[in-house]
Structure 1
C-alpha cells in the first residue's frame, strides 16, 4: 500500500492519478474529507481505503507492515493564514509525528515543503542544507514549513529514505477548490470567460514593472513525475527544490492563457491587497542542480505548453486529472 496524505487536495490528487497510471492501485488516501468541494478530485480513482487524518496514526499502527511508501502532502496551504497555532498543529507537529512514525516503522517518506521558506530571496534559492537556519520566510505559513525542514535535518534518527520537496508555483488541474490560493491561470481563465479581460496585481516594487513580477511556475504533471522518481530511487535523502529553474513573468502566464483560449489579450492592473503586500515575493527561481545531480533528467514542461494543456484539456472541458 502507498499512503498519500492531503489526498483530496491539488497536488496529492494528481499524484494519485499518476500512481494509478503506473498500476499502483492499493492507495490509502488520508485527508479531512468533510470538505466536500475537494472530493471531486478523487472521483473515479483506484483507491484502497479512505482514512481521516485524525485517525491515521492509529490506522498506521495496525497496518504499517503493509505500507510500502508514504507521501505526506497534506498541510494548511493558505499563505495568508495568520493563526500560528493552526499552522503549528497541521504543518509542524503533524509532520513531526509522521516523521517519527516513518522512523519507527522504517517507512520511506516524501513530504511537501515550500519555496515560501525562501522569503524575499535575499539569500538566493539554493536548497543547500547549510542555508536552512538562515532563511527568513515572509509569513507564518513559510515559517511553519521552514521550521519543519530545520527540525528534520537535525534529527539523529531519520527514515531510511526521506525527501522534502520545496514546491515553487505549482499550477494545473485539480486546483478548482482552492479559491484565492489557486494559480493565476485559473483566475485568468475565469475572469476572461466572464469579462474578456484579466486583472493582475500592480507592482509596488520600483525594480519591477507592473506584471513583470517573476515566479518559477511548475506544471503539476512535472511535480508528480519527480515524486515517482524519488519513490522508485529511494536513495540520496535530503531536501530538494521543485521548480523548473526558470523564472517567468505573470504577463507571460496571462498572455499564454489568452493564447490558449484563442482570445486577444486585455490585461489590467490593480493594487496588491494590503494583507499580502508586505510579504509578496517579486522573484523566485529554483536552483535545480541538486535534484539533477541525483539523476533526475526529465525536461520540465515549458510554460506555454503547460498552460495550453491545462486550459484546453481541463479548464475548458471541466475535466479533472
Structure 2
C-alpha cells in the first residue's frame, strides 16, 4: 500500500472527518473517496481546498461500490449521527449500527482494514469506569440513544465466531436477501474501534448545540464578555467542576493516522480491538473556560446557570480515558495539554475564522 492507494473516509464533510482529509493531504494522500450526506451545505466549507478523488452520497455508497468495484486499501468510518439530544433511536440505529455493519461486512469480504468511530458515550455514568477492556462492553449502560447505538455496534463487532448465526440473520435483514456465501473470516484483516472522548478543534463550526464548550465559550465571550456554565446538580461536584477528558482534534488525527502507518509498515503492528482516544487526564469546565479566556488575553468571567431539564438525568459528571491499552499497542506520542490545545484552536483558527 502506498500514497496512491484509495482510502475511504465516511463523515468526510463533518468535524473529525474533514480534519482527517486535510491531515492525510499533508501526508501526501490525495486519492481519497469521501462519503457523507453532502446535501447538508453548511459543511461544504470544511472541504474547501482539500484534495480528494471522489465525493459519494452516503445512501448511494454501497450501490456505487457494487457497480464500480473500486480497489479500496483502507477505510476510516468516521460518519455517524452524533447528536446526544436526538432520542429517536431509529435514526441512530440506521446510521450508527446498520450502516456500520454494512461497512464492516464490506471490509471483511474485501480484506480491507477498518478504523471506525466509537464513543466515550458508551460508558454511560461510568459505573464500570472508563477502561477499554473489551470484556466489560456487554455490561456497559449508555445514558442516551447515541451511546446505546455506538455500544451496540461495538458489541456486534466483538461477537465471537460461535454467534455468527445471529450476525448472519442481521446481515440478511440488512441486505434484504438471503445469502449463504459468508466469507471464512468473520472480521476485517485488521480493525480498530476508537472511543472518542470530548474532541474539540477547528471545523466544528456547523455543529450548533453539539459543538465543543470551547467553541461556545469563545462566542459567548465575543458577544457578552462572560461565559455561562451549567451549575452542578450533584452535591459532590461544585459548579463548573464537572470533569471531562478533553482531547484536541490534532491528537485524534495522529492516532487515526498511526493505525494506517502500522498497517503499511507491518500488518502485525496493527493490533485489532477497541481503544480509548482521550488524554487520560480529566479537567474541569472551569479549567477549560479559564484557558479560553487566557488564549483571548482576557480575565475570566464565569457565571453559572441551571442545566436544561432534557439532559439533566443523562449528564456525565466525570469522564477520563484509561490510555494504557493504546500505549501498550505502540502509540507513544505526546499529546496537547488542555491549555496548549485551546490556545492553538483559538489563536490559529477561531480568532481568524480559519479551517483545518
Q: Tell me whether 1:251 sits opposite 2:256 in the alignment.
A: no
Q: 1:64 to 1:230 in 2, by over 3 A?
A: farther
Q: Contact between 1:173 and 1:320, CA under 8 Å: does it hold in 2?
A: yes
Q: Distance in 2 between matches of 1:39 and 1:67?
A: 24
Q: Distance in 2 between matches of 1:251 and 1:63?
A: 52
Deviation at residue 61 of structure 1 after TM alignment: 2.5
Q: Tell me whether 1:158 sits opposite 2:190 in the alignment.
A: no
1:1-321 matches, cutoff 5 A: 1-156=6-161, 157-234=186-263, 235-321=270-356
> Aligned to 1:20, what secondary structure does the other structure show?
helix
> Which digits, 9 at most, give the CA deviation of each residue in 1:105-132, with x for residues without a partner?
1111000000000000010000011000
> Which digits, 9 at most, give the CA deviation of each residue in 1:3-52, with x for residues without a partner?
00000000010111110000000011100001111111000000100000
Q: Distance in 2 between matches of 1:191 and 1:102?
A: 44
> Aligned to 1:287, what secondary structure does the other structure show?
coil
Scaled by the length of structure 2, what TM-score is found? 0.89
> Aligned to 2:349, what secondary structure does the other structure show?
helix
> Aligned to 1:50, what secondary structure does the other structure show?
strand
> Aligned to 2:206, what secondary structure does the other structure show?
coil
Q: What value does the CA root-mean-square deviation take over the aligned residues? A: 0.8
Larger-Rg structure: 2
Deviation at residue 165 of structure 1 after TM alignment: 0.1
Deviation at residue 68 of structure 1 after TM alignment: 1.0
> Aligned to 2:9, what secondary structure does the other structure show?
strand
**Structure 2 residue runs without a partner (length 5+):** 1-5, 162-185, 264-269
Q: Distance in 2 between matches of 1:61 and 1:270?
A: 52
> Which digits, 9 at most, give the CA deviation of each residue in 1:198-255, with x for residues without a partner?
0001100111000000000000000000000011113210000000000000000000
> Which digits, 9 at most, give the CA deviation of each residue in 1:263-318, with x for residues without a partner?
11110010110000000000000000000001000011010000000001000000
User: 2:164 corresponds to which residue?
Assistant: none
Q: Distance in 2 between matches of 1:64 and 1:264?
A: 57
Deviation at residue 64 of structure 1 after TM alignment: 4.8
**Structure 1 residue runs without a partner (length 5+):** none
Deviation at residue 65 of structure 1 after TM alignment: 4.6
> Aligned to 1:173, what secondary structure does the other structure show?
coil
Q: Contact between 1:202 and 1:269, CA under 8 Å: does it hold in 2?
A: yes
Scaled by the length of structure 1, what TM-score is found? 0.99
Q: Distance in 2 between matches of 1:229 and 1:183?
A: 25
Q: Which moved more, 1:5-14 or 1:152-161?
A: 152-161
Q: Distance in 2 between matches of 1:62 and 1:153?
A: 30
> Which digits, 9 at most, give the CA deviation of each residue in 1:46-95, with x for residues without a partner?
01000000111122224455211000000000011100111100110000
Q: Distance in 1 between matches of 2:216 and 2:57?
A: 30
Q: Distance in 1 between matches of 2:245 and 2:137?
A: 20
